[in-house]
Amino acid sequence: MRETVRRKALGVRGGRSLLFIMFVLLLLAALVWAASWNEESDLTPHASRFTPHVSYAAEPVERHLANIRQLTFGRQNAEAYFSFDGTKLIFQSTNDWVTGRGEGPVPSRSAGKTGLGCYQMYVMDLDSGTIRLVSTGAGTTTCGYFYPGDRRVLYSSTHLVGPNCPPKPKREGRYRWALDDYDIFSVRVDGQQVQRLTATPGYDAEATISPDGKTIVFTSVRDGDLDVYAMNLDGTHLRRLTDEFGYDGGPFFSPDSRRIVYRASHPRDPVEIEQYKALLAERLVEPGQLEIFVMNADGTGKRQVTANGASNFAPFFHPDGQRIVFSSNQHDSRREGPPTFHLYLISDAGTGLERLTFTGRFNSFPMFSPDGKQLVWVSDRNATERGEFNIFLADWVP
């Protein structure tokens, strides 16, 4: 009996000892864990619990852009430019919002069930959100712009060549765009009264209008090279503004209409010159390297603004007339894969470079509103499928 009691007592003591040892081990483990927490509390715990917030906060702030609004949703929407009163946008899109002209505006900014094989031209009312087709619905279009008074617009189109979309060029490893047989047309905002402004074979596109409402500038291949030209609003009084060998295009006027900003690529190496000529003969251009230039409205005083060897394009003057916003891949040092493009701001003297956008892989075609309070541009941010580009509008913060 005593032996049984003694064994039970030893069993209890042994169990208590085992529990004590387990408690000590757990206490030591807790101390070690606490020490590791203190050493890594600024990184590991927060990163594991709040990963989305940390990665989002790590994105640089787009401090000049406030109240960003997405205006279109789905497919490809590009080159959105303000009306003179700032209440509308003209833009090109592969969305088929309207099945034919004359059917009235459509109160939708989302992609429909069907898309288009190439761009058509639309006008969006920023207050109501309605969208109206202003092009013919045939061929492809590009580069729309408002006339003074906002009752008419211009755009380039291939519809006189044929009703179908032009064939797309082969990439062959590098981005190329086709110099299709565009002509420039003027039309009322309801899509009626189409007037042809150019009638030469080849590429006539990239047209914009001076803020004083007197002059159209555009890019043309009519003299055998891609150069910037000017003409009156009705297509008369044509004059050539650039004559350097290579591509000169994408012109926009300064706020006072006295200067023009544009993009250019002037090959100097014999091999590059021959490559440019060969592509031009095939009605192609390969914009791998473009720099920003400015000149007087009459074509004098040409001056290079950027010199980074990147692809810089879509320049537009800041409301102060002394700075330029543009798109560039100069930040992209990767050697493989498609480059990324973001918006930058620079003085017309080539100083004070500042990056404006950090979200998405493509940000381009910026334009300030006539009052300088807003910026519209095209971006793939928030895209739900590959190749999608949408129009964004933001309040400009100086």
Contact assessment for residue 139 and residue 162, using Cβ atoms and an 8 Å cutoff? yes
What is the distance of C-alpha 207 from the center of its chain? 18
Q: What angle do CA 255, 227, 94 make, to 5 degrees?
A: 75
Kindly state the tokens that stand for 3: 């032996």
Q: What is the mean pLDDT of residues 258-267?
A: 98
Contact assessment for residue 197 and residue 154, using Cβ atoms and an 8 Å cutoff? yes
Token pair 């030893």 is found at: 10
Per-residue pLDDT at 188 exceeds 60: yes
Between the CA of residue 59 and those of 55, 196, 201, 390, 396, what are the distances in Å?
7, 47, 48, 21, 19
> For position 282, what pLDDT does the model report?
94
Q: What is the mean pLDDT of residues 48-72?
A: 62
Contact assessment for residue 116 and residue 95, using Cβ atoms and an 8 Å cutoff? yes
> For position 173, what pLDDT does the model report?
64
Q: pLDDT confidence of 192, banded at 50, 70, 90?
A: very high
Q: pLDDT confidence of 109, banded at 50, 70, 90?
A: low
Contact assessment for residue 381 and residue 373, using Cβ atoms and an 8 Å cutoff? no
Q: pLDDT confidence of 369, banded at 50, 70, 90?
A: very high
Q: Per residue in 355-367, pLDDT tens? A: 999 999 999 999 9
Mean pLDDT of the chain, nearest integer: 85
Q: Is 65-396 a CATH 2.120.10.30 domain?
A: yes
In whole angstroms, what is the distance from residue 286 CA to residue 175 CA? Answer: 6
Q: Per residue in 306-328, pLDDT tens? A: 999 999 999 999 999 999 999 99
> For position 332, what pLDDT does the model report?
85
The residues pairing with 367 across neighbouring beta strands, listed in sequence order, are 376
In whole angstroms, what is the distance from residue 230 CA to residue 236 CA? Answer: 9
Per-residue pLDDT at 215 exceeds 70: yes
Token pair 């009752």 is found at: 151
Q: pLDDT confidence of 247, banded at 50, 70, 90?
A: very high
Q: What is the mean pLDDT of residues 60-75?
A: 94
Q: pLDDT confidence of 339, banded at 50, 70, 90?
A: confident
CA-only gyration radius of the chain, Å? 30
Per-residue pLDDT at 76 exceeds 50: yes
> For position 113, what pLDDT does the model report?
62
Per-residue pLDDT at 26 exceeds 70: no
- 361: exposed, middle or buried (C-beta count within 10 Å: 0-12, 13-18, 19+)? middle
**Residues, the chain, total?**
398
> For position 170, what pLDDT does the model report?
78
Which amino acid belongs to residue 188? R
In whole angstroms, what is the distance from residue 263 CA to residue 250 CA? Answer: 6
Q: Per residue in 33-44, pLDDT tens? A: 333 333 322 222
- Three-state secondary structure call for residue 243: coil
> For position 31, what pLDDT does the model report?
36
Sequence-ordered alpha helix ranges (H) in the chain? 2-40, 44-49, 51-58, 270-281
Q: Which comes out higher in pLDDT, residue 76 or 170?
A: 76
Sign of CA dihedral 353, 357, 361, 364: negative
In whole angstroms, what is the distance from residue 16 CA to residue 19 CA? Answer: 5
Q: Per residue in 112-121, pLDDT tens? A: 567 899 999 9
Q: What is the mean pLDDT of residues 70-79?
A: 96
> For position 330, what pLDDT does the model report?
94
Per-residue pLDDT at 383 exceeds 60: yes
> For position 334, what pLDDT does the model report?
64
- Three-state secondary structure call for residue 149: coil
Q: What angle do CA 113, 145, 264 make, to 5 degrees?
A: 105
Q: pLDDT confidence of 138, banded at 50, 70, 90?
A: very high
Q: What is the mean pLDDT of residues 207-226?
A: 98
- Three-state secondary structure call for residue 219: strand
Q: What is the DSSP letter of 34?
A: H
Considering the entire predicted model, what is its pTM? Answer: 0.82
Between the CA of residue 376 and those of 29, 69, 150, 393, what are the distances in Å?
57, 10, 18, 4
Per-residue pLDDT at 63 exceeds 70: yes
In what order do the strands lie in the sheet containing 141-146? Answer: 141-146, 152-157, 183-188, 195-196
Token pair 């916003």 is found at: 325
